[in-house]
Chain A
Amino acid sequence: MSTDAQEPELQPEEGRPSPLSRRTFIAATGTATGVAVAAGVTGSGTRPVSATEDVASELADGTTSRVSFLLNGRRQSLVVDNRASLLDLLRERLDLTGTKKGCDAGACGACTVHVDGRRVNACLTFAARLDGAQVTTIEGLTPDGDLHPLQRAFIEQDALQCGFCTPGQIMSGVACIREGHTGSPEEIREWMSGNICRCGCYVKIVRAVAQTATGGR
């Protein structure tokens, strides 16, 4: 275990064989080449080979940081490689894969989460900068695991096809409603433009946001 004071719910159960998920399978098959390449480059066992690698303890060279922040209402205290993005930390270490990686460059919005109540791109957020922050992901949108009204609206409006952009759309939409940028379909389109939908579900996404903003059906 690499982290201290870790919420057990956020880690895959240890010591118990679990069925191989699609995700684990892809990760496992991808690792063989990755490790071979990285080992050749670093030539040392202590240097983390990638930004998302678990870090056992702070490295003396200062390239790791200790951070403590609230993630979906629970405290996370851990050591991170300074290069790790919040997005990779969520997906690769904390097993919160609801937040998606599209472009990894701020250009698609798939990774949208809330930091201190504001929608941001997790791909452009270094995890090392989160000390003292409050982070909410799609998994923590409602405290009890119920669906948020905007999630229900997405289902009712059929506002998705492949669903890859949906968590980002919903996190962005919840903030958009909170900010009050929902006066007209045009205003919603503009203020939701940071979330690209390759399946082109924009009309229904706008309807779902509008429906939730007015509290109607």
Chain B
Amino acid sequence: MFPFTYTRATSVHEAIEAGERGGRYIAGGTTLVDLMRETVERPSALVDIVGLPLSDVSATPRGGLRIGALARMADVAADPVVRQTYPAVAQALELSASAQLRNMATIGGNVMQRPRCAYFRDVSAPCNRREPGSGCSALEGYNRTHAILGTSEHCVATHPSDLAVVLTAFEATVHLVGPEGRRATPIGHFLLPPGDTPDQEQDLRPGELIVALEIPPLPRPLRSGYLKVRDRESYEFALTSVAVALHIRGGVIHTAKVAAGGVGTIPWKLPAVEQHLVGRRPSPDLWGQAAERAADGARPLVHNGFKTELLRRTVERQLRIVGGRS
């Protein structure tokens, strides 16, 4: 690990000033410390933000949910408001990492977490994210866990977060504060697919700090849930996953929100699946027909072809679980 200076920010203002000068924010540290030890990350100045008052979790006036960026994963998952209004959020969090890590890790850090691609983590391997222009080792390498959607010739790593899949399905907003003031952006614009600039993972400007993530109000009654498929039953990243929310009234689906994880370079929204569901009556056939569209545009690599069918089946199963109840 390379030496670095360490300061604790005592206010958001102070944090942003330090961030603008090149300081790197550290929240739970569960991604950053690990990558610094591997010398993938080499910040020369760490700015500790975990003491800032940005950990509130609250219902918004019209029935949405606002989660402070520094709220810990464990606390958000246990929050009664979260469990009651958006159970998929609690489910995605409790299916993430371990109890220990969830006690440390924050919501902002979770969305910001970096790829788990083994070549990205290995500083001796070419990797366009770590070293733009050096090449992508995963393209021709061992790519069983890599993405089939949103890939480019420069990078095929998945976005590893479970929570971000739910936030993408529900079209959450990222609230930011920076040297130029406040702004808000949809999570679908905040997380960037690799394209020609795989080293740019988020639309985050110098010194900007995520202060909160906000899920807009969705029509009630709402059924929602998160399903995660992985190589072992717990403490493992997703091979495939899906977040679903359905608003069914008078026997007809009026609103459908669906996104998948483990398959995209960013959490992957499934508009074709959503559109097929809206206006139709729930039925076992409908779940299958909608799920057929889940892998549209998929481009499998040598070792991850199984993800295409696994994704369709994961979506179908979760639609049945969430929508099948009467």
Contacts and interface: CB of A to CB of B under 8 A. Distances in A.
Interface string A102-130: 00111101001000001111011110110
Interface in B4-61: 4-6, 8, 26, 29-30, 33-34, 36-37, 46, 48, 50
B3 A82 contact: yes
Contact of A104 (B37, B46, B233): B37
Contacts of A124: 29-30, 33-34, 101, 104
The B interface is mostly helix, strand or loop, or mixed, namely mixed
Contacts of B123: none
Interface string B98-110: 1111011000000
Contacts of B306: none
A119 B102 CA distance: 9
A82 B4 contact: yes
A125 B29 CA distance: 7
B33 A194 contact: no
B109 to A, nearest CB: 12
A65 interface: yes
A63 interface: yes
A85 B33 contact: yes
B29 A126 contact: yes
A30 to B, nearest CB: 18
A141 interface: no
B60 to A, nearest CB: 28
Interface in B82-114: 97-101, 103-104
B160 to A, nearest CB: 13
A190 interface: yes
Contacts of A172: 99-100
B5 A82 contact: yes
Interface in A72-88: 81-83, 85
Contact of A121 (B8, B36, B48, B101): B101
B185 interface: no
Interface in B229-278: 233-235
A33 B36 CA distance: 24
A105 B1 CA distance: 13
Nearest to B46: A82
A175 to B, nearest CB: 7
Given A63-B3, A106-B98, 16 more contacts: A61-B5, A82-B5, A83-B3, A83-B4, A83-B36, A85-B33, A105-B37, A121-B100, A121-B104, A124-B30, A124-B33, A124-B104, A125-B29, A192-B99, A193-B98, A194-B235
Interface of B: 1, 3-6, 8, 26, 29-30, 33-34, 36-37, 46, 48, 50, 74, 97-101, 103-104, 233-235
The 3 A-B pairs at the shortest CB distance, nearest first, are namely A194-B98, A193-B234, A62-B5
Interface of A: 47, 51, 61-63, 65, 81-83, 85, 104-107, 109, 112, 118-121, 123-126, 128-129, 131, 172, 175-176, 179, 181, 189-196
19 contacts: A47-B3, A81-B3, A82-B5, A82-B46, A83-B4, A83-B36, A85-B33, A104-B37, A105-B34, A106-B101, A118-B103, A120-B100, A129-B29, A129-B48, A175-B99, A189-B234, A193-B99, A195-B98, A196-B235
